[in-house]
A = this chain, B = another copy of it.
Amino acid sequence: MKKIFVSILTMALAVSAMAQQSLWNNSQIVSPQVNPDGTVTFRIQAPKAIKVEVTGEFLAPTKLEIPNFGVFDVPGVAALTEGENGVWEYTTPEPVPGGFYNYNFQVDGLKMLDLNNMHVNRDVANLTSVLLIPGGIGDNFVVNSVPHGTVSKVWYPSEAGYNRRMTVYTPAGYENSKTKYPVVYILHGAGGDEDAWVTQGRATQILDNLIAKGQIKPMIAVFTNGNISQEAAPLEGSFSTGQPGMSAPKQMEGSFEKCFPEVVKYVDSHYRTIAKKTSRAICGLSMGGFHTLYLTINYPDMFNYSGMFSAAIGVSDPSVSPLYQNVDEKLATYFSKKPGLLWIAIGKTDFLYKANVEFRAKLDAAHYPYIYKETEGGHVWSNWRDYLVDYLQLIFK
């Protein structure tokens, strides 16, 4: 057998790739590039383009007020400048603070991903490129050199009539101990699924990082799919394989909440959990905040800690499910059992702000205890990631 060297393999593979160049990307362009001074440069090779822009959450947003709905942050836009070989470039004028940012290019008005950046996320039916910068809050989201938990996609039998998928995080060390752990259930919003908190939410990195710093106890985290009409996220189930959307059949009409005890039962019987109320927490964003509220008050012996992030309070007609009825009575029962924490967080410009004000007024009138956090911004992942970081530090104390 002849001696051939590795470089020959990589050369041959490169030739193979070149032959497929319409599918493969042989560009030597680096984008995004974090510069030593903390600024970030974006590049795209588009020799025939007339106008190239980048839009993303790292650019100062403009405000858009829509009557009856609220004020929305419209991501900023910056123009790239064409240089040699049709390579367009934009460098931020200031360092980009640590954090997680979605962005895209617009080439002559056409939305494009940054195809030199392998970090792509899906949010509902939208693909975006991701810029992840360490430092500050970004340190919660990046993969640090710390022990990592196991992330599993697990199928469990459901009363819905089919097996359903959830994501389960077990903390580092789980596999090598006999320790029992508390469990936090983390719920997504409308249009999301069991992947959303793990991709856009960076929840498993947040858990790894906070556990490693000793800021939270090691815990199991469970990410369910709150769309009872789906087996799993788009592309992962055998039906509902079409384009994901904000609305799904049987959304917020009680079925998900009705079935939820099966999830807790599965987790308690298949993982080393501390299977009691004081070691069980739940939280969720938007629709998941709505689910959190109704799961909390309908199963008052299940969760000791509840977190409502930008919760979609009051958006469902109570007549659709008994689970949404007799809220005052249920709240009274829930609070009579002295839960460990009800945590409510929302941004000042969130279109659900007013509904949350009204809900808190109801709690205040009855002198029910809760902790409230109000932030800048609206109904966006940048808030929800931060809320999760805050909330996890308040539970299992």
Interface residues of A, Cβ cutoff 8 Å to B: 1-10, 12-17, 19-20, 22-25, 30, 46-49, 55-57, 64, 66, 69-70, 72-75, 77, 102-104, 106-113, 115-116, 118-120, 122-128, 142-155, 162-163, 165, 172, 175, 190-191, 232, 234-239, 241, 243-244, 246-247, 251-253, 270, 286-287, 312-318, 327, 351-352, 355, 358-359, 362, 378-379
- Nearest chain B CB to A82's CB is how many angstroms away? 14
Chain B, residue nearest A74 (CB):
B19
- Known contacts: A23-B55, A315-B9. The answer to whether A155 contacts B172 by CB under 8 A is yes
- Nearest chain B CB to A1's CB is how many angstroms away? 5
A313 contacts B1, CB within 8 Å? yes
B13 contacts A237, CB within 8 Å? no
Chain B, residue nearest A120 (CB):
B120
| Interface of chain A: mostly helix, strand, loop or mixed | loop
B150 contacts A154, CB within 8 Å? yes
Copies of this chain present in the complex amount to: 2
Most B CB within 10 A of own CB, among A13, A24, A317: A13
B-chain residues with CB within 8 Å of residue A145 when the two chains form the complex: 162, 238-239
Q: Which of B104, B118, B125 has a CB less than 8 Å from the CB of A243?
A: B118
B-chain residues with CB within 8 Å of residue A6 when the two chains form the complex: 247, 251-253, 315-317
Chain B, residue nearest A235 (CB):
B119
For the complex, what is the distance from the CA of A154 to the CA of B175, rounded to whole Å? 10
B23 contacts A75, CB within 8 Å? yes
